[in-house]
Amino acid sequence: MNDVVSRFIRYAKIFTQSDPNAVSQTPSTQRQFDLARVLVQEMKEFGIDNAFVDGHCYVYGKVPATPGCEDLPAIGLIAHMDTSPDMTGENVKPQILHYEGGDVTLNEALGIVMRAEEFPDLALYRGQDLICTDGTTLLGADDKAGVAIILQAVEELLASGEPHGPICIAFTPDEEVGNGTGFFDVEGFGAKFAYTVDGGEITNYEYETFNAAQAVVTVNGFSIHPGSAKDRMRNALLIAMELNSLLPPLETPRHTEGYEGFFHLGEMKGACERASMHYIIRDHFRERFEERKELLRKAAEEIDRRWGEGTIELEITDQYYNMVEVLRDRMDVVRLAEEAMKLSGVESPTHDPVRGGTDGCMLTFRGLPCPNLPTGGHNYHGRFEFVPVQSLKTGVKIAKNVVSEALVRRVILGEQM
């Protein structure tokens, strides 16, 4: 049988980076099929004969209930196969380093060091083994750790014969570019509720996310030779800066945490004649989320008042909503996650709000309640990403416990065992 560490390292070496410039197609990169086909083959090898990958690179498989557990609800386990385009995921070279404190040298030849003062979470793992890269790529624990945890848990369950209800498995493409659920077959998946295994620190599960929108601001200026520009030039770049100055300066990602929302100017480009700005707007509270969008609209109106109608073109598109709005009515599903973590050795599980979103957001609003379980990973999307070996192993225990007969009967069905 596989172990979760070797399984994860094997997956991490497969290049599956998604492409934000190709989101008109799913998957955005054909290379994601390379991992999808591996996962289908592995599932078939340990007994999931119905496993398959569809034309959009969604992998599905179903495990029937063990005898006597057919009355239990079907539970889904979901993770995504792509890695972030923020840093290359090609030619990943995982390594396992034993940590006894202090800085971690990832690549001595290139002088790449993960410094303890910059990454205080390292202190939590003194005496443990960390899976890292050589510092030239990201690791891909987001979310190949989740993929490895799910398949390791299911393989162990099938080998042991431990009682469980129906288990539905899915691995998605393009989560990192916001298209992870566009072609997800909720009805065909067949679960009554599910868990994305796509979180971070192994003690923390999640059922609250941002409400999210993106905004594209186009600024129409007027270009003329600077030598004859008096009272005539309208510099679109300067007007764009003027618009940004109308937004709260301390409500940016750098200045916010926890439940605090923000405006994030992610891209600005152009010239005197025309410029564009790309924002993301985030807030955990729907009322504040709507207020943020309205504030940006009013800023655009003010610029038009100052510089003339048509100076600003503004397009705001909602992306996803806080899944707690739905999960408030399914807190039994949330409690099942917490109890599974406790049974796995996590004495005091925490549930910080996600300062982002997950595939579970979209699926929850499509009728599939879907909190987020941890993988144990840290420092996602960059060269200093790592996952502790011990956290991976705990993640497998959590996945097994969340589908176990005894716990599901007690928490979901309210039965006394």
- Alpha-carbon distance of 129 to 124, in angstroms, equals 12
Q: HSE-up of 13 (CA within 13 Å, CB side)?
A: 9
- Report whether 346 contacts 309 (CB < 8 A): no
Is residue 236 within 8 Å of residue 220, measured between CB atoms? yes
Which residues make Cβ contacts (< 8 Å) with residue 182, sequence separation at least 6?
26, 56, 174
User: CB–CB of 201/353 below 8 Å?
Assistant: no
How many beta carbons lie within 10 A of that of residue 173, not counting itself?
28
175 carries an active-site annotation: yes
Residue that is written with structure tokens 């990973």 in the block: 377
Q: What's the per-residue H, E or C state across 121-159? A: HHHHHCCCEEEECCCCCCCCHHHHHHHHHHHHHHHHHHH
Name the active-site residue from 142, 143, 156, 175.
Answer: 175
Asked whether 51 and 44 are in contact (CB, 8 A), the reply is yes
* Phi-psi region at 258: left, alpha or beta (left = phi > 0; alpha = psi -120 to 50): left
Give the C-alpha separation, 132 to 142, whole Å: 13
- State the distance between the two ends of the chain, measured CA to CA, in whole angstroms: 31
DSSP-derived 3-state class of residue 390? helix
Tokens representing residue 181 in the block: 């659920």
Where would I find the H helices in 229-285?
236-244
Q: Is 232 exposed, middle or buried (0-12, 13-18, 19+ CB in 10 A)?
A: exposed
What burial class does residue 364 get, using C-beta atoms within 10 Å of its C-beta: 0-12 exposed, 13-18 middle, 19+ buried? buried
Per the document, the length of the chain is: 417
Cα 291 from chain centroid (whole Å): 25
Choice among 42, 82, 156, 385 that is catalytic: 82
Residues forming the active site: 82, 175
